[in-house]
């Protein structure tokens, strides 16, 4: 087992990709601490894994709650080997012209606070424990951290920011803590949207990604959360990735190698602007 004896902490580990990461890490011999907002989902993880997991109910936007998750981990397992920042929200591809002007500030703050500040706060909370073990951090990026059209401008900008955070933290924390990222492609989970845009009850699972996967994804299928979890095990394992820090695994089904079937999305931009201006008159 590649993670035998190790302890990982996963934010957003109660469902979706985060839960798949927890399940895979436990299968590989690790014990896991989970920070998640849902008591129900944390209870499900505890029922599945027993004393192999400890849980903290909390919000990644709070430094105190990130610190509590680390403290719970240390109290339960005595150490921390890998902190995995995974909690995030998606903007459902809402583009610039569709973003409501009166909601833009709130939506920007909400998406960046969860997707970027949440990672920064986890790093702040976990660094001391990881220095003690010579451990690592892993952050969930996205194909949107490298390419357009994986979300709208808010989500895409947040994931580009997360790429920069991985690289800066890898620089600052070397040689004591390695910092890497995994950039999944499309995935059918219960990923939700921002409250500020009225998307808190929308789930990416309702978007039929499977229907277009054969044409849009070079590997011809949509990977599952369980498929993606292996990338996190690679970076968390101590023997398989000694040279890796500041690295990001493009683990997206080959989205970066697509051809030029569509080169831009702004062909009808003048018409859309005209309609928008009519609506505001």
The catalytic residues are 155
Measured over the CA atoms of residue 215, residue 142, residue 5 and residue 24, the dihedral's sign is negative
Tokens of 167: 């690289």
Asked if 152 and 219 count as a contact pair (C-beta separation under 8 A), the reply is: no
Could you please report the per-residue DSSP string of 133-188?
A: HT-EEEEE--GGGTSTTSS-HHHHHHHHHHHHHHHHHHHHHTTT-EEEEEEE----
Give the whole-angstrom CA distance, residue 238 versus residue 34.
Answer: 21
Asked if 8 and 25 count as a contact pair (C-beta separation under 8 A), the reply is: yes
């Amino acid at each position: 087992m590649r993670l035998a004896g190790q302890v990982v902490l996963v934010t957003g580990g109660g469902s979706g990709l985060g839960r798949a990461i927890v399940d895979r890490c436990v299968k590989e011999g690790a014990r896991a601490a989970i920070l998640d907002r849902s008591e129900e989902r944390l209870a499900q993880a505890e029922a599945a894994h027993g004393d192999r997991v400890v849980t903290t109910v909390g919000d990644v936007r709070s430094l105190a709650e990130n610190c509590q998750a680390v403290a719970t981990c240390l109290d339960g397992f005595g150490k921390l080997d890998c902190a995995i920042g995974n909690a995030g929200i998606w903007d459902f591809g809402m583009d610039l012209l569709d973003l409501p002007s009166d909601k833009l500030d709130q939506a920007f703050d909400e998406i960046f606070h969860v997707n970027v500040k949440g990672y920064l706060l986890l790093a702040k909370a976990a660094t001391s424990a990881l220095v003690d073990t010579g451990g690592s951090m892993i952050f969930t990026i996205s194909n949107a951290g490298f390419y357009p059209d994986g979300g709208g401008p808010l989500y895409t900008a947040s994931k580009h920011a997360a790429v920069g955070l991985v690289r800066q933290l890898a620089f600052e924390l070397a040689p004591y803590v390695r910092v890497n990222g995994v950039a999944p492609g499309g995935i059918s989970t219960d990923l939700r949207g921002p409250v500020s845009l009225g998307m808190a009850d929308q789930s990416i699972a309702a978007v039929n990604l499977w229907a277009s996967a054969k044409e849009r994804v070079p590997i011809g299928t949509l990977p599952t959360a369980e498929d993606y979890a292996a990338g996190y095990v690679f970076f968390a394992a101590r023997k398989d990735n000694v040279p890796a820090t500041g690295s990001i695994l493009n683990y997206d089904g080959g989205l970066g190698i697509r051809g030029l079937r569509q080169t831009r999305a702004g062909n009808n931009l003048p018409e859309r602007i005209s309609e928008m201006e009519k609506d505001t008159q």
